Amino acid sequence: MAEDIICFLNKDELVIKAPKKSPMVLRMVVLLFAMVCGVYICLICLRQQTSSSSKIRLLNVRVNDEEQHCRANGIEKWETPPVHFPKPKTFSREECVCNPVRFFAILSMQRSGSGWFETLLNSHMNVSSNGEIFSKERRRNVSTIINTLDKVYNLDFFTSASKNECTAAVGFKWMLNQGVMQHPKEIVEYFDERGVSAIFLFRRNLLRRMISVLANVYDSQAKLLNGTHKSHVHSSKDAQILAKYKPKVNASILVHNLKQAEKTTTRALEYFKSTRHIVLYYEDIVNNRTKLVDVQDFLRLPYRELTSRQVKIHSGPLSKQIDNWGGVQKALEGTSYEHFLHVDYQL
Ligand SMILES: *[C@@H]1O[C@H](CO)[C@@H](O)[C@H](O)[C@H]1NC(C)=O
Ligand SMILES: *[C@@H]1O[C@H](CO)[C@@H](O)[C@H](O)[C@H]1NC(C)=O
Ligand SMILES: *[C@@H]1O[C@H](CO)[C@@H](O)[C@H](O)[C@H]1NC(C)=O
Ligand SMILES: *[C@@H]1O[C@H](CO)[C@@H](O)[C@H](O)[C@H]1NC(C)=O
Ligand SMILES: *[C@@H]1O[C@H](CO)[C@@H](O)[C@H](O)[C@H]1NC(C)=O
């Protein structure tokens, strides 16, 4: 810091240097020099004092300095979404120390395309989305949840998705039944206080989602791919093997189950209505990749083409994917879910 001041001073002198013109200017320069020297000496004294005080305080001062310094680069606190300059405990952000970071969470339900969506996001060089991190242990109570969130947003949570120093958006994916619906008040408070943006990702066709859930549960036992269970695949051959299994749907509770899933989404949107959020549907992204531009805009990211190697497991008409198609048809006819039987989409 001391060196900086001297350099700065030298430069200034060079600029002002024109003492021949009047002795008044020369006097002013000498006066200025004396003043700066005084300040410099004060600074040295101060610094010696601080270094003798506790290390923690010094660290705090530096964090504030950094934040102020970064903000001076034209980034304002009231920007939406709020920007952050995390100071990770585990590494240094190096040349990206002043790159602003945005916080997000993908809120979704199992088998709604969030795995695929997350691989798309993570193909962006400046995004770290850390997967489904809320194990039973981490969602045990509100304080374990908050601790985990703090760690993620301070960039100290390490997964294969971590991009570390040049991350511009950091988050993870959170299934609604993994603590979100149990502690909505505290989580919404945290999101609003720290400026976490929510990306809701739902599936329009909840019947297709149900087929995927049933097939995935079945495979967790049957392990169709050479004795291993896979929820997501990267080859069409593997996808075909997994799609061979046609689940039987319990028709007597089908409408009830669809209603439950629908209620959960509605309640979640109600809880987070004050939070900055975007609502996406899996089918829309599949049909219209421009939706991914919306997402990047939402996170204020520089635009990139996003890619994923994941292959869809259940493609083609729904009637071919359900063992008791007739029973399912009968159960849904005349209900508000009837259209789930008919809407199909191309891939
Ligand atoms: C939350 O769970 C952790 C870990 O199991 C435990 O140590 C802590 O005391 C619990 N806190 C509260 C407030 O229940
Ligand atoms: C994205 O990452 C690159 C390379 O790591 C870095 O140079 C760039 O500044 C980052 N962009 C943002 C917006 O942080
Ligand atoms: C399963 O085994 C077959 C034949 O040995 C092989 O071709 C295939 O790649 C394997 N699949 C997986 C998912 O490991
Ligand atoms: C369908 O669900 C109901 C209610 O849970 C249950 O009583 C019934 O045994 C189930 N039927 C089948 C065929 O699994
Ligand atoms: C695709 O998505 C973009 C961005 O949300 C939207 O403006 C556009 O109308 C959509 N196109 C179609 C064909 O739906």
Place of tokens 């010696």: 48
- Do 235 and 310 meet the contact criterion of CB atoms below 8 Å apart? no
The Cα–Cα gap between 136 and 133 comes to: 10
Between CA 299 and CA 197 the distance in angstroms is 8
250 C-alpha vs ligand 4 centroid, how far in Å? 6
Q: In the sheet where 102-108 sits, what is the strand order?
A: 127-132, 169-175, 102-108, 196-202, 277-281
CA dist., res. 306 & res. 126, Å (int): 12
**3-state DSSP call for residue 201?**
strand
- CA angle at residue 107 from 121 to 302, to 5 degrees? 30
* pLDDT over threshold 70, residue 42: no
DSSP class of residue 70? H
CA distance 296 to 3: 41
Q: Which residue has the tokens 């989404």?
A: 265
* Residue extents of the structural domains in the chain: 94-341
Q: Across the chain, what does the average pLDDT equal?
A: 83
Q: How far is the CA of 54 from the centre of ligand 4 (A)?
A: 65
Supply angle C-alpha 91, 93, 99, rounded to 5.
Answer: 155
The alpha carbon of 328 and the centre of ligand 4 are apart by a number of angstroms equal to 14
More confident residue, 153 or 59: 153
Q: How far, in Å, CA of 347 to CA of 344, rounded?
A: 10
Residue 201's closest CA among 124, 143, 120?
120
Q: What b/e sequence results for 198-230 when a residue is b if at least 16 CB atoms lie within 10 Å of its CB, and e otherwise? A: bbbbbbebbbbbbbbbbbbebbeeeebeeeeeb
- Ligand 4 site residues (CB inside 6 A) read 250, 252-253
With beta carbons less than 8 A apart as the criterion, state whether 340 and 204 touch.
no
What average pLDDT does range 190-203 have in this prediction?
96
- Helix axis angle for 23-52 and 2-16, nearest 10°, is 170
Segment 31-54 shows an average pLDDT of 58
What's the token pair of residue 338?
């009837």
Q: Which of 283, 222, 213, 220 is nearest to 249 (CA)?
A: 213
- Residue located nearest, by CA, to atom 12 of ligand 4: 250
- Answer for the pair 105, 191: CB distance below 8 angstroms, yes or no: yes
Lowest mean pLDDT among 33-37, 60-64, 204-208: 60-64
Which of 288, 289, 303 gets mutated to test ligand 5 (max ligand atoms within 8 A of its CB)? 288
What residue ranges line ligand 3, CB within 6 angstroms?
225-226, 238
- Ligand nearest to the CA of residue 256, numbered in listed order: 4
Ligand 2 atom closest to Cα of residue 302: 13
The arithmetic mean of pLDDT across residues 16-22, rounded, is 50
Neighbours of 306 (CB within 10 A): 19
pLDDT interval class at 1 (50, 70, 90): very low
pLDDT of residue 7: 39
Q: What is the pLDDT of residue 65?
A: 56
d(CA 326, CA 322): 9
Of the pLDDT bands very low, low, confident and very high (cuts 50, 70, 90), residue 179 is very high
Q: What is the pLDDT of residues 261-287, one digit of tens each?
A: 999 999 999 999 999 999 999 999 999
Tell which residue, 172, 249, 265, 170, has the closest CA to residue 208.
Answer: 249
How much is the average pLDDT of 52-63? 43
User: Which residue pairs from 299-304 have beta carbons closer than 8 angstroms and sit at least 24 positions apart in sequence?
Assistant: 299/81, 299/102, 299/104, 299/127, 299/168, 299/169, 299/197, 300/81, 300/102, 300/168, 300/169, 301/124, 301/126, 301/127, 301/168, 301/169, 302/126, 302/168, 304/123, 304/124, 304/125
Does the pLDDT at position 35 exceed 80? no
Q: Ligand 4: which atom is nearest the Cα of residue 253? A: 2
Q: What percent of the chain has pLDDT over 70?
A: 79
More confident residue, 301 or 18: 301
Residue 119's beta-bridge partner residues? none
Ligand 1 centroid to residue 147 C-alpha, Å:
11
- Topology of domain 94-341, CATH: Rossmann fold (3.40.50)
CA distance 109 to 178: 9
Give the position, in ligand 2's atom list, of the atom nearest the Cα of 301: 13
CA-nearest of 232, 196, 198, 203 to 119 is 232
Q: Which of 35-39, 45-49, 200-204 has the highest mean pLDDT?
A: 200-204
Give pLDDT tens digits for 220-231: 888 888 888 888
Segment 100-140, tens digit of pLDDT:
999 999 999 999 999 999 999 999 999 999 999 999 999 99
Q: What average pLDDT does the segment 205-219 reach?
A: 90
Tell me which range, 39-53, 156-170, 199-213, is most confidently predicted by mean pLDDT.
199-213
